Structure 1
Amino acid sequence: MRYLILGAGALGGYFGGMLIKGGADVTFLVRPERAAQLQRDGLIVKLQDGSELRTKTKTVQQGQLNGTYDVVLLSCKAYDLDGAMDALAPAMTEQSVIVPVLNGVRHIDVLTGRFGQARVLGGLTTINAALMPDGTIQQSQLRINLNAIGELDGSTSNRCAAIKADLEAGGVPVQISDTIVAMMWAKFFGFVISATIASLTRSRAGAIAQSASGPSFVSDVIDECTRVVTAAGYPPAPPPAPDAAGIMRGMFSQQGSTYGPSMLIDMEDGRPTEGEHTIGDLAERAAKMGISAPLLTAARCNLEAYEVNRGKHSKT
Structure 2
Amino acid sequence: MLGAGGTGGYFGGRLAESGADVTFLVRKGRRKILSEQGLRIESPFGDAQVAVKAVLAPEVTPIYDSVILTCKAYDLDAAIASIAPAVAPTGYVLPFLNGIAHIDALNEKFGRDRVLGGTAKIQATIMPNGAIRQFNDWRSLTFGEQSGEMTDRVRTLAALFESAKGVEAFAVNDVVQRMWEKLVHLSTAAAMTCLMRANVGEIVRTPYGRDLFLDQLRCGAAIAAANGHAPGAAFMKAWEETFSQQDSQYSTSMLRDIERGGRTEVEHILGFMLDKAVAAQISCNTLRLAYTNVKAFEQRRAAGRLV
Shorter-chain-normalised TM-score: which range? over 0.9
Q: Which residue of 1 aligns with 2:256?
A: 265
Alignment pair present for 1:47 and 2:43 = yes
Match of 1:25, SS state, is coil
Distance 2:305 2:296 in 1: 14
Summarize deviations over 1:141-200 as a string: whole Å, max 9, x none.
Answer: 13x543211000001211111111111122333111000110111111111111111222
Matches within 5 A, 1:1-316: 5-49=1-45, 51-142=46-137, 144-171=138-165, 172-239=167-234, 243=235, 245-255=236-246, 257-313=248-304
- Superposition deviation, residue 109 in structure 1: 1.3
Distance 1:203 1:24 in 2: 39
Paired residues of 1:121 and 1:152 also in contact (CA < 8 A): yes
> How many residues are aligned here?
306
TM-score for both structures, normalised by structure 2: 0.93
Distance 1:264 1:211 in 2: 19
Summarize deviations over 1:231-254 as a string: whole Å, max 9, x none.
Answer: 111111133xxx3x4444434434
Letter of the structure 2 residue corresponding to residue 44 of structure 1:
R
Distance 1:168 1:232 in 2: 33
Summarize deviations over 1:278-314 as a string: whole Å, max 9, x none.
Answer: 1111111122223332222222222212111111117
Distance 1:170 1:225 in 2: 34
TM-score for both structures, normalised by structure 1: 0.90
Instruction: Report the identity percentage.
Output: 36
Match of 2:143, SS state, is strand
Distance 1:259 1:15 in 2: 20
Paired residues of 1:275 and 1:303 also in contact (CA < 8 A): yes
- Superposition deviation, residue 122 in structure 1: 0.8
- Superposition deviation, residue 315 in structure 1: 10
Distance 2:213 2:55 in 1: 45
Regions of 4+ moved over 6 Å: none
Match of 1:175, SS state, is strand
Match of 2:119, SS state, is strand
Match of 1:95, SS state, is strand
Letter of the structure 1 residue corresponding to residue 51 of structure 2:
K
Paired residues of 1:193 and 1:248 also in contact (CA < 8 A): no
Summarize deviations over 1:184-230 as a string: whole Å, max 9, x none.
Answer: 11111111111111222222223322322223322321232222111
Residue ranges of structure 1 left out of the alignment (5+ in a row) = none
Distance 1:55 1:308 in 2: 40
- Superposition deviation, residue 257 in structure 1: 4.2
Q: Which moved more, 1:52-61 or 1:202-211?
A: 202-211
Residue ranges of structure 2 left out of the alignment (5+ in a row) = none
Letter of the structure 2 residue corresponding to residue 160 of structure 1:
V
Distance 2:18 2:233 in 1: 35
Match of 2:122, SS state, is coil
Paired residues of 2:119 and 2:141 also in contact (CA < 8 A): yes
Distance 2:194 2:24 in 1: 33
